């Protein structure tokens, strides 16, 4: 297992902590499953997290999952400019979040797909009050999960975003 100290500075670890990213993945996986009756393919999680965390992209996402992804991308080309770099840069953090989520039961795994697990208890000192940023990430994660579920093929979806599996 990768040591958390090997994947970046302490600031990066704080910003991209595995519990937070696992929660993002859980929200997305839950809505993906509601939309498609299947769990989200693992490769899509590596695209999903950078889309959700990037505020400019998150703020421009459509509000309806029925929005045509190719049309949206064509109308918002600026969001593709550094997407590949963000995906590669976040790879270690997403992998760690998946492992963390699986270990704690927040995520499930079957046949190369990730599902929403259960949250058994809230951590000591947990507050229901969340920042606008955190809430925005959770709403965006749910949306992107539904949006991705409407696409028929993982390789095609990644290609639409200019990425390869």
By mean pLDDT, which of 6-10, 59-63, 64-68, 110-114 is the weakest?
6-10
* pLDDT, tens only, 30-42: 999 999 999 999 9
Q: Could you tell me which residue, 13 or 44, shows the higher pLDDT?
A: 44
- Mean pLDDT (the chain, rounded): 87
pLDDT of residue 3: 41
As given in the structure block, the two tokens for residue 28 are 């997305």
Separation of first and last alpha carbons in the chain: 23
pLDDT score, position 59: 94
Give the global pTM: 0.86
User: Residue 69 is encoded by which pair of tokens?
Assistant: 């992804």
Structural tokens at position 60: 């421009």
CA–CA separation, 18 and 143 (whole Å)? 21
- Locate the DSSP E strands across the chain: 40-41, 107-110, 113-116
Contact 103, 27 (CB under 8 A): no
Helix (H, G, I), strand (E, B) or coil at 165: coil
pLDDT value at residue 133 = 86
Degrees to nearest 5, angle at CA 107 with 95 and 2:
25
Q: How confident is the model at residue 1 (pLDDT cuts 50, 70, 90)?
A: very low
Q: What is the mean pLDDT of residues 95-118?
A: 95
């Amino acid at each position: 297992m990768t040591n958390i100290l090997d994947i970046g500075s302490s600031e990066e670890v704080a910003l991209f902590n595995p519990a937070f990213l696992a929660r993002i993945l859980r929200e997305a996986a839950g809505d993906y499953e509601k939309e498609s009756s299947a769990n989200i393919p693992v490769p899509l999680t590596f695209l999903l997290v950078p889309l959700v965390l990037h505020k400019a992209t998150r703020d421009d996402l459509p509000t309806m999952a029925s929005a045509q992804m190719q049309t949206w991308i064509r109308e918002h080309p600026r969001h593709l400019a550094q997407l590949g770099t963000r995906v590669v840069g976040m790879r270690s953090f997403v992998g760690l979040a998946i492992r963390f989520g699986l270990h704690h039961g927040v995520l499930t795994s079957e046949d190369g797909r990730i599902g929403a697990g259960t949250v058994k208890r809230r951590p000591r000192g947990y507050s229901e009050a969340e920042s606008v940023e955190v809430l925005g990430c959770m709403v965006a994660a749910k949306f992107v999960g539904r949006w991705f579920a409407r696409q028929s093929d993982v390789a095609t979806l990644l290609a639409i975003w200019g990425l390869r599996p």
